Structures are given as structure tokens and as C-alpha cells.
Amino acid sequence: MSEPAATPEPAATPEPAAARGDQAALTARAADLDARDPLAKVRERFTLDEVTYLDGNSLGALPSGVGPRLLDVIEREWGSLRIRSWDQSGWWQAPERIGDRVGALIGAAPGQVVVGDSTSVNVFKAVVAAARLAGPERDEILVDEATFPTDGYIATAAARLTGHTVRPVAAPAMADAVGPRTAVALVNHVDYRTGRLHDLPGTTAAAHAAGAVAVWDLCHSAGALPVGLDAHGVDLAVGCTYKFLNGGPGSPAYLYVRRDLQPRFDSPLPGWTSHADPFGMAAGYTPADGATRGRVGTPDILSMMALDAALDVWDGVAVEQVRDKSLALTDFFLDCVAALVPAGQVEPVTPAAHAERGSQISLRHPRAGAVMTELIRRGVVGDHRRPDILRFGFTPLYTRYADVLRAARVLGEVVR
């Protein structure tokens, strides 16, 4: 969300003729790209309006099937079947079943992802469990120094509980920083401020070579690009589902536990639904097999069913297609900004190299809050991060090249 800020003074400088010429060429290019877009029809699976929505990296748009599905859950599954729905409607198995659907989008074979709780809670489970997996001789937790704040807060709390110390490290330097004292490396796959994509395969391999456990936060990559958890041997991973997975505000997060680690995954939150015999109500705790060990309490069925319906938009869509369009959208946006925004007004901070770019573009402007407020007033929705970052998130399932062009054009008008 963007913080309130004063609206800038209306622009008085007329648009240069060169910019008008550039805009004509870019309009033709956008039309051609949209006409050839293999994902163009997927946009019809969402409830959208005329607003140019480039904030899917904070909250994805509403998939059209969610409303009818929730109505059925409320009126039939809850309203008529009531408690019978735990069996007859598959409520009890939902965390694992939906977890497998998420797993397919992040490169995890079935049986390794469980949906439930928030990202914050799952970070806590993963970091504490990873520290226990690493063994008592290791006393250090490395944390991405630019991490989303909650990850740092929770890593610090987990370190206090487990007797470890936290050492902040720049994510690109993480592979070189892991050593014999390192128990856990907690890294964001994509930086939430800059949109920089970090080296998941290389950092994971370096952690393993040093005997450490790698934990990845996928909040800004899942649903935007291939992750390849199994292919790259990632130990543990967490992520939210309300950004590029479009699961809705506050939708449940997920936890990935690599299959061979599951028998040794020692959750710090052993709830009744992760018990081997949850309805036996035994006084002692015996963990269930598999990813179910990551469960804690009663599943949040309404939001979980909304997520389940939201994932239907992925039918017939390959993550590789999404990545191709993501890079094309962000390339086009950078070209549009270069052509239509007066020189020197904004500075891209997202890497130009495809291998280092997620699915957002961040631009630096000294009055980012005020600029974003005016953009939103004019129907272009992104967000900003203090003090000076404008963020634009590109969800390839519903973002058009024409949307990208409009955003850059309005940005040029605002800053001019």
C-alpha cells in the first residue's frame, strides 16, 4: 500500500513533439505485442476495469471464479453440509491438496508443500526447523540484509530461542558468506524494493557445500517466474499467495519441505492437525508423515477455498510462458519510460539483465510518494516504498502491453 502524500502541482510543460512521435511508434508496438500475446485470453479469467493495475506484486487481481466458488462454500458446504464438509467437501485434506497445486507452480513434486498460516508464521517454522536440522555445532543464521522486515524480525526471534546469532549479509554475497558456523541462510528470491532476482541455484549449492540449510522466501517470485525448488535441491521455502498467485487479501501462505528432509523436520509449532493421529487427542505429540508436519491448527477454510478457485486461472498456462511475457513487459516498460519520461526525472533501480530481474520495475524519484498518489488519481495503480522508490508490478496473466504504455505515458505527464 502507498502512504498518503501531497498531490503534485499540475504539469504545465507541454509534451515535446519528439515524445509524441515516440508515443505513436510505441502505440503500434504495443498493439502488435498484444495481438501476438499467447496469454492474452487469460486476462478474461479476471475481474478487471479500466484502471491500469500494476500492483500485482502487492495484491493480485480478483479471478472471476472466486466469487461463485465462495458462494457455494458458504451456502452449500457450510450452510447445508456444515461439519460434514470436513469429509464430504474435502476440507480436511485441503492444505495438502492445494499445496500440491502451488507446488506445481514453484517446481515441487506432490507431497512437499502444505498451505496454511501466514508467511511470517511459516518463516518461523522454517528457520527454527532449519537450525535444528543443521545441528548444534553451528550457531549462525545468515539473513538477507535487504529482506522484507518481518523475515528479519522473525529470524532474530528464532535465533534467541535456538541460541543462534543473526548476521545480515547482502543477498548477492550470501554464497561467499556461508561457512562452518552457518546453520541457516534465509534469502529472498526477489528483493521487494528493487525487484532484483537473486541466485537461488548458486546460493543453495554454496549453502550445501558449507553444510548449511537454505531457506528461501518466494513471495515475489512464485507465479511470476520458474523457481525450480526440486531441481535446485532447495531445503525449505515459504511464500504468500496473494501477490502473483492472486489468492486474495490475507490468503494463506505455504511451506515447502524437501521430501528427504521431512522425517527430520522438527516444527517449533506442533499443532493438533500435524499430529499423526489428530483425532486421537493424545497428550503426547507424534508428528505426521510428509509435508503435513508443517500444519499447525484448524485450516482457514474460507480463504483457502478462495485460493483454490484462484489457482484455476493457471489451467493450461506454463510458468515459462509467464516468465517470457514478464520479461517482455518489463523490457517494454523500460523502453516506454526512456522515451516518454523526461530525462533525469526517474532512475531505474531494477537490474536490466534478465537473469537478475523479477517481475517488477522500481524507479527512483525524490518525491515518489506524491508521484504515486497522482498516478493513482489518474488511474495508474502501483505503489511506493520510502523514501524514493516507485514500484510497478507486472502480472503477465492479465497485464497488457497497452497498459504498460499508458502507465509510462501518465508517469511522464506527472513528473513533467
In sign, the C-alpha dihedral spanning 376, 322, 57, 42 is positive
Partners of residue 185 on adjacent β-strands: 142, 214
- The vertex-112 CA angle with 314 and 137, nearest 5°, equals 135
Q: Let me know: does 221 contact 256? Beta carbons within 8 Å.
A: no
Short-list 340, 315, 394, CA closest to 362:
394
- Which among 46, 124, 242, 265 is annotated as catalytic? 242
Instruction: For the chain, give the number of residues.
Output: 416
- Which among 191, 217, 383, 403 is annotated as catalytic? 217
* Measured distance CA(307)–CA(247) in Å, rounded: 4
Report the Cα 118 to chain-centroid distance in Å.
13
CA distances from 266 to 28, 173, 239, 294, 303 (A): 57, 29, 19, 9, 27
Contact partners, residue 240, CB within 8 Å, separation at least 6: 118, 119, 219, 247, 251, 253
Q: Let me know: does 195 contact 360? Beta carbons within 8 Å.
A: yes
Active-site residue, 392 included: no
- Which among 46, 148, 265, 333 is annotated as catalytic? 148
Report the Cα 77 to chain-centroid distance in Å.
30
- Which among 293, 357, 391, 409 is annotated as catalytic? 391
Q: What phi and psi, each to the nearest 5 degrees, are found at residue 142? A: -90, 135
* Measured distance CA(313)–CA(321) in Å, rounded: 14
Residue 357 DSSP code = B
Q: Which amino acid is at 126?
A: A
* Measured distance CA(92)–CA(383) in Å, rounded: 37
Q: Let me know: does 295 contact 114? Beta carbons within 8 Å.
A: yes
- Which among 196, 243, 357, 400 is annotated as catalytic? 243
* Measured distance CA(87)–CA(74) in Å, rounded: 16
Active-site residue, 325 included: no
Active-site residue, 324 included: no
Q: How many CB atoms lie within 10 A of CB 174?
A: 25
Q: Let me know: does 410 contact 341? Beta carbons within 8 Å.
A: no
Residues tagged active-site? 148, 217, 242-243, 391
